[in-house]
């Protein structure tokens, strides 16, 4: 009964669902973006080989622990797609990656150098509490060495994960820190505890452990090139709309009616 319900879904029903849930425009944009990628790739003679698709598929299988072919088929069946559908999606992703690298690989280093300031990192700990009086008392006890920063974080932080990690927040890029906190954090000295500071989250007490010089690693490379490619794709899509008039979104049934 369930399989019959699934296989009986019509294209018009899917389109109607997307429209009612305000997802139709977004879906159309994604389809048009893929057309733009395909056209730009053809102009540059960029292709994806069967070997590249197989390599990526094997990587996905390992990540999802799909050790046997039957496991992969069961997973695809659960996603309501065929192996050909899956391979086609992999091909699209790989082509997008190749095109982005073809267009912007030479620009990444230049962009990184121009924005070096924002790619510095800081390893920090912090405590967030809901009340100013409590924050002041905690800061005083840390300053007077009545308790360590780590003890205070373990006792008082509002976030359970940070409490268990004694305030450890991790290594964070400067551009990911709010404009409220960034000036104080990067003006501090390693090991210094910054006095309580209020944001929407509550009252912060922050300790800087160390600063890490900006470097163009794989993570930053991908962030920069993806941002540049997304901006390019957005502009190409706008150009398509402004120069092609209305985009056809007819369903197959509507097209058949028009042809008849």
Q: Domain extents for the chain?
A: 9-114+221-259, 121-212
Question: Over the chain (260 residues), what is each successive 10-residue block's mean pLDDT?
Answer: 62 89 90 93 95 96 93 93 95 96 94 89 94 95 93 94 93 87 89 91 93 90 94 91 60 44
Phi, psi (rounded to 5 degrees) for 48: -120, 125
Per-residue H/E/C for 146-183: CCCHHHHHHHHCCCHHHHHCCCEEEEEEHHHCCCCCHH
Q: How would you label 106-134 residue by residue, b for 16+ Cβ within 10 Å and e otherwise?
A: eebeeebeeeeeebebbbbbbbbbeeeee
Calculate Rg over the CA atoms of the chain: 26
**Measured distance CA(216)–CA(1) in Å, rounded:** 55
What is the dotted CATH code of the domain comprising 121-212? 3.10.50.40
**Measured distance CA(44)–CA(36) in Å, rounded:** 12
Q: Helix crossing, 11-20 with 252-259: angle to 10°?
A: 120
Q: How would you label 76-101 residue by residue, b for 16+ Cβ within 10 Å and e otherwise?
A: beeeeeeeeebbeebbeebbbbbbbe
CA quadruple 106, 107, 112, 113: dihedral, nearest 10: 90
pLDDT of residue 11: 86
- Strand partners for 207: 125, 193
Closest C-alpha to 140, from 184, 196, 185: 196
**Measured distance CA(226)–CA(238) in Å, rounded:** 18
Query: Residue 119 gets which letter from DSSP?
Result: G
What's the sign of the alpha-carbon dihedral 94, 100, 103, 109?
Answer: negative
For 230, the token pair is: 């997304």
For 122, the 3-state DSSP assignment is strand
**Measured distance CA(244)–CA(7) in Å, rounded:** 36
**Measured distance CA(147)–CA(204) in Å, rounded:** 17
């Amino acid at each position: 009964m369930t399989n019959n319900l699934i296989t009986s879904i019509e294209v018009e029903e899917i389109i109607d669902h997307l429209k009612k849930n305000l997802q139709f425009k977004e879906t159309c944009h994604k389809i048009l973006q893929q057309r733009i990628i395909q056209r730009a790739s053809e102009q540059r003679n960029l292709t994806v080989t069967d070997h590249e698709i197989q390599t990526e598929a094997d990587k996905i299988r390992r990540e999802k622990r799909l050790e046997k072919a039957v496991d992969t088929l069961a997973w695809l069946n659960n996603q309501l797609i065929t192996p050909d559908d899956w391979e086609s999606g992999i091909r699209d992703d790989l082509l997008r990656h190749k095109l982005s690298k073809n267009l912007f690989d030479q620009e990444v280093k230049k962009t990184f150098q121009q924005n070096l300031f924002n790619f510095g990192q800081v390893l920090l700990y912090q405590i967030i509490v809901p009340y100013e009086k409590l924050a002041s008392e905690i800061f005083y006890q840390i300053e007077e060495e009545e308790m360590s920063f780590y003890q205070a974080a373990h006792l008082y932080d509002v976030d359970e994960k940070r409490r268990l990690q004694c305030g450890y927040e991790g290594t964070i890029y400067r551009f990911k820190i709010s404009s409220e906190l960034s000036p104080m954090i990067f003006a501090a000295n390693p090991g210094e505890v910054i006095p309580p500071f209020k944001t929407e989250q509550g009252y912060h007490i922050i300790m800087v452990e160390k600063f890490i010089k900006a470097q163009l690693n794989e993570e930053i490379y991908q962030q920069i090139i993806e941002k540049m490619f997304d901006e390019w794709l957005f502009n190409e899509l706008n150009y398509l709309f402004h120069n092609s008039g209305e985009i056809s979104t007819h369903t197959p049934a509507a097209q058949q009616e028009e042809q008849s």
